[in-house]
């Protein structure tokens, strides 16, 4: 399981989310810049940023959130999906 973070360097909410996720250790985070990774943007139908997508080991989407989210809320969502 891993968390895909779709962002852009010019996006203020993305910068805020990136700083928050520096402390996050529930699952690995993969950063995907929407300006340089259009194939992933299309694959996951990203319309707004920041967007977080939790995927399983086969790449199946388990959870998707667009916009800012607290670390507590994100951890709670992931724990519920994991069954913790």
Query: What's residue 82's pLDDT?
Result: 87
Cβ distance 49 to 6 under 8 Å?
A: yes
Handedness of CA 14, 16, 22, 23 (dihedral sign): negative
Look at residue 84 in the predicted model and tell me its pLDDT: 65
Nearest in space to 7 (alpha carbons), one of 38, 27, 44, 32? 32
Low-confidence ranges of the chain (pLDDT < 70): 84
Tokens 């399981």, residue?
Answer: 1
Element (H, E) at 2: strand 2-7
> What are the respective helix, strand and coil percentages of the chain, to the nearest 5?
35, 25, 40
């Amino acid at each position: 399981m891993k968390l895909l973070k779709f962002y852009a360097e010019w996006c203020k909410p993305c910068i805020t989310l990136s700083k928050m996720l520096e402390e996050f250790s529930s699952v690995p985070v993969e950063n995907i810049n929407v300006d340089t990774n259009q194939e992933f943007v299309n694959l996951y139908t990203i319309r707004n940023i920041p967007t977080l997508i939790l995927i399983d080991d086969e790449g199946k989407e388990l959870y998707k959130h667009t916009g800012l989210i607290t670390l507590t809320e994100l951890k709670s969502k992931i724990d519920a999906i994991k069954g913790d």
